[in-house]
Structures are given as structure tokens and as C-alpha cells.
Structure 1
Amino acid sequence: MSTPLQIGLLIFPKVTQLDFTGPLQVFAGLPGAKIHLIWKRIEPVPSDSVLVLTPTITLADCPQLDVICVPGGAGTDDLVNDEETLDFLRAQATNAKYVTSVCTGSLVLGAAGLLEGYNAATHWSAMQYLPAFGATPTRTRVCVDRNRITGGGVTAGIDFALTLVSILTDRKTAETIQLGLEYNPAPPFNAGSPDTAPPEILALAKERIAAMGARRGDAINEAAARLNQPA
């Protein structure tokens, strides 16, 4: 009997649920995969919406993973300076086949020192923070750089997961999962990227996230300073 593929997705307070539920649904179609939802304790975790999530395993009890994935959300502003979480990611990354993220989860990988010298994707509003961790921002839905695979913002998590499945297995398996999900996007508006959104929509979006951006900038500066402290 073959050993099941161990895939772990970190969940945390104020996670953006679609960042990980998109990939989770893709991974659920992967034959022979064991999927873990990981957090510090087995207790309900509030997302950034009304949805409440339940971890399946703790950081302490998590087995060695083949794939570790960090989703994004406002809660990553706390995680970038959470040593317990960062230590867990560093330990898992040592032997994981793939170290991955979706959206601003890449900032947490960066804060753990796991993206230095790598190209990485993230949400369009967070691109400017990646260089603080030695990463090169890459404007793409999915960025593959050796065993670091990072997805862009939120909905890119589905693209990321299908890409990863094709690497873990083959394209046929990934395409079969895609068909099962009827993932055939045809958005009603061409406003899903700052490159295509009307200027007034982009301005409104930036206005809505301005306060969060200021808080995030402070958190990133603190995380980068701690990461670069002499050993």
C-alpha cells in the first residue's frame, strides 16, 4: 500500500476562506491524499467572513507534510510576527516537497525566511512587501520557482492548486479535477485585476484597504527587522 500524500493547509483567525477552500476542493479530488487543516488548537477559528472553521490537527501533532500551504487574509498581519507559527513552517519546509501559499500567505512564508532568493506571487495590493523578505514580486496567477509555488490573490488559489496537482501527479489528473469542478471562468466584469479595472473602481478598492495597508506595512517592517537580526 502506498503512503498517502500529506497535504496541510494552515488556518488562522481572519483567514480569507476562499484562499484555502478553493485549493481544498481541488485537493479533495486528488486520489490518495490526506488533507489536514492546521492550527494551534482544535477549536473554532473565525474567518474574515461569517464562516467559522474547524482545524483537524494542531501544529504540535501535525505529521511531516509533503505540501504545506499558507492562505492569506487580514490575519496574516499577525502571523508574520507569530514565532510559533513561523517555527512550524520552517520545520515543515525542511523536508516538505513543496512549500506553497495563496494570496498574502506568501508574506508569512517570507517572514519565516522561506522565500529569500525566490520569485513569488501574492495579492496585487501586497506586492510591495515581498522584497522585504528577499523575494522577487511576480505578477502572475501562479508562480512556480523550484519547490516554492505561490498563488496570486484569493481566486488564484484554484489555479494554484490545479497547477500543483499537475506537478504532483500529471496533467490528466488535474484536468479531470478541473472538469469535475466545472472550473471554466467567465467573469461578468473585466475588473478582476488592477490592470483591467476601471480607474474609479481601482481608486475605490485602494481607499477601502488603505487602513489595512498601513497596519500591514508596520507588521512587515517588524517582521523583516526580526528576520534580519544577527543570529
Structure 2
Amino acid sequence: MTGVKRDRRRLLRAAVASGVGGGLAAASSPARAEQGRQPMDAKERTPDEGGVRVAVLLYDGFTALDAVGPYEVLCRVPGVTVTMVAEKPGPVRTDTGELGLIAERSLSSVRTADVLLVPGGGDRGVMAVMGNSVVLDWIRRIHRGSVWTTSVCTGSLILGAAGLLRGLPATTYWASRSYLAEVGAVYTPGRFVETGKIITAAGVSAGIDMALLLTSRLTDVEVAQAMQLAVEYDPDPPFDTGSPEKASPELQRLALRLIADSAR
């Protein structure tokens, strides 16, 4: 198995021999969605041999797929290193309390990252982080030097609480759209919204869409397309109720009740 994994990585690296950049300083643009951003120039890489460092913030009560979905895409891109980060290293429980991920690094030990990813979570977890000055200060510090700052689901509310979305278009979980205005953002529909160096994704599974877009920005479209195939991301659900515009009020209430009942 080890040999197979090594061969797979070797093949992927060969396929993207042009490499992945990591040190380009991307300035925030006006409040508009950008579509034509080019991949990072190989001449503008970070000191650590051109690797792209992705920091995923974990906190008590985060939603598993918000973090793991993008991780499954980004961790397989050659030259990219994904690290789980929390206030202190160790296991961090998800919003259901039944699953934990290991944070490898503490906030204090991670002072820079090329990509910051903030997952959403249950009400309790998100509200706690929005009021946690230590975490918000860390987000602001990482954002100042990041190439990309991203969120999934209600993670955008956390970015907003850190003051990063004032006057900017953004998206979030469907039932939390109205709260974006409270953190100064302008709700904009879409599976993801790209504004300057900030990309916000809609609810939960939309983080995979955002990660594929991010892969194309870090490398090129061909690599992103290959990664979509690599993780066989080809949604064809048995039902067509994946957004509130397609679901009845009764289904919306049931969905929120199922989420609430599963939270600890």
C-alpha cells in the first residue's frame, strides 16, 4: 500500500511538473466577484521550497464536512500541505459531539499561512468563536499575510466577526443568510462567492466546490479538473431539494430540526 501511495503521488507530481506557487501577495480588490485570477507564478513562491501552506481552523462544534470536504481535495494537490489548527493541539469535537479531528498545531504556533480556511459549525460553536478575541485576532493576523482567505457555511459569519467582510459580497448556509448583514457583508447567492482574495462557500457540501475553485487558482484548471475526477465529485442526488428555493417550507423546518436535534 505504501508503494502504491508513493507511485500515485509521483504520477500526480509529474502531471503538474510546473509546480505550485505559494508566496504571491494577493491584495483585496473592491467588492466584486472575480473570475479571471491567474495561478500563482512559480517565481513568487514561499521560502519553504514553493509549498503552499493551508491552515484549517478547528473549534469545538465545527461541522465535519466543512473541514474534511476541502481537505480531501487540497491535501492531494502536489506542493500543498494542509494543517489542522486550534487554540491548542489535540482532538476537537464536531457539532454532533460524536466525531473528533486532531488539531496538529496551536494558534500561537502558526503565524502565517498561504491559505486560511474557516469551517462553519453549530450555533453554539460559531457563536463562541465569534466572541473569542484570541481566535478572531489570529484570523486577522493570518489574513493579513494570506494569499487566500476562505470559509465554508457559517464560517463566513466568523470571518465577518473578525471584520473581514465589511461591504463585501459573501455567502453562507441558507438559513443564516440574514445574519451576514449583521457582520457587515452583503449576501450574494452562489455555491461560492469570490471577492479579491476572499472566497466564501455556501453550506457544508459547497466547500468541495470552493476547494476545486481554489485548486484552479493555486495551480491551473486542468489540475482542478483532474482533482474533481480524483475524488469522483460528480453529484447526482436522488432528490432535488438541496437549496431552500427548491424545498417546501415544511422541508426547510424539518431540515433545521434535524440539524438542531443532532447537535450536542
Q: Aligned to 2:148, which of 98, 117, 126?
A: 98
Is 1:138 the counterpart of 2:185? The answer is no
Once residues 129 and 52 of structure 1 are traced to their aligned partners in structure 2, the CA distance between those partners, rounded to angstroms, is 27
Distance 1:184 1:209 in 2: 25
Matches of 1:116 and 1:210, distance apart in 2: 29
In the TM superposition, what is the alpha-carbon distance from 1:47 to its structure 2 partner? 0.8
In the other structure, the counterpart of 1:160 is: 210
The percent of aligned pairs where both chains have the same amino acid is 40
SS at match of 1:76: helix
Q: Which of 59, 62, 71 in structure 1 is aligned with 2:119?
A: 71
Instruction: Give the partner amino acid of 2:233.
Output: Y
Tell me the residue number matched to 2:164. 114
Partner of 1:36: 83
Partner of 1:220: none
- Determine helix, strand or coil for the equivalent of 1:201: helix
Q: Which amino acid aligns with 1:42?
A: P
- Structure 1 segments of 4+ aligned residues over 6 angstroms from their partners: none
Letter in 1 for 2:92: V
Where 1:202 maps in the other structure, the secondary structure is helix
The whole-number CA distance in structure 2 between the counterparts of 1:167 and 1:79 is 28
Specify the SS of the correspondent of 2:70.
helix
After TM superposition, give the deviation of residue 134 of structure 1 in Å: 1.5
2:200 maps to what in 1? 150
- SS of the aligned residue for 1:126 comes to helix
- Corresponding residue for residue 55 of structure 1: 103
Residues 87 and 107 of structure 2 are in contact (CA less than 8 Å); yes or no, is this contact kept in structure 1? yes
Q: How many residues are matched?
A: 212
By how many angstroms is 1:77 displaced?
1.4
Shift of 1:198: 3.0
For residues 131 and 50 of structure 2, the distance between their equivalents in structure 1, rounded to whole angstroms, comes to 34
Is the counterpart of residue 185 in structure 1 residue 232 in structure 2?
no
Give the aligned CA root-mean-square deviation in angstroms: 1.7
Structure 1: distance between partners of 2:65 and 2:153 = 10
Deviation digits for residues 109-131 of structure 1, max 9, x if unmatched?
00000111211110001110111
Q: Distance in 1 between matches of 2:249 and 2:61?
A: 29
What is the rounded CA distance, in whole Å, between the counterparts of 2:257 and 2:71 in structure 1?
31
Asked if 1:200 corresponds to 2:250, the answer is yes
Task: Tell me which structure has the larger Cα radius of gyration.
Answer: 2
8 Å Cα contact 1:118/1:148 also seen in 2: no
CA 1:56–1:207: 2 relative to 1, 3 Å = closer
Distance 1:15 1:199 in 2: 26
Query: What is the CA-CA distance between 1:23 and the residue it aligns to?
Result: 0.1
Q: CA deviation at 1:89?
A: 0.4
Judge conservation of contact 1:19–1:157 (CA < 8 Å) in 2. yes
Partner of 1:225: none
How big is the shift at 1:207? 5.1
How far apart, in 2, do the equivalents of 1:178 and 1:101 lie? Answer: 19
> Following TM superposition, by how much is the alpha carbon of 1:208 offset from its aligned partner in structure 2, in angstroms?
5.4
Structure 1 pair 39/206, CA: closer, same or farther in 2 (3 Å)? Answer: closer
Q: CA deviation at 1:186?
A: 0.3
Instruction: Return the alpha-carbon distance in structure 2 between the equivalents of residues 4 and 205 of structure 1.
Output: 40
Native 8 Å contact 1:122 1:150 kept in 2:
yes
Which of 50, 54, 71 in structure 2 is aligned with 1:7? 54
- CA shift, 1:180, in A, is 0.6
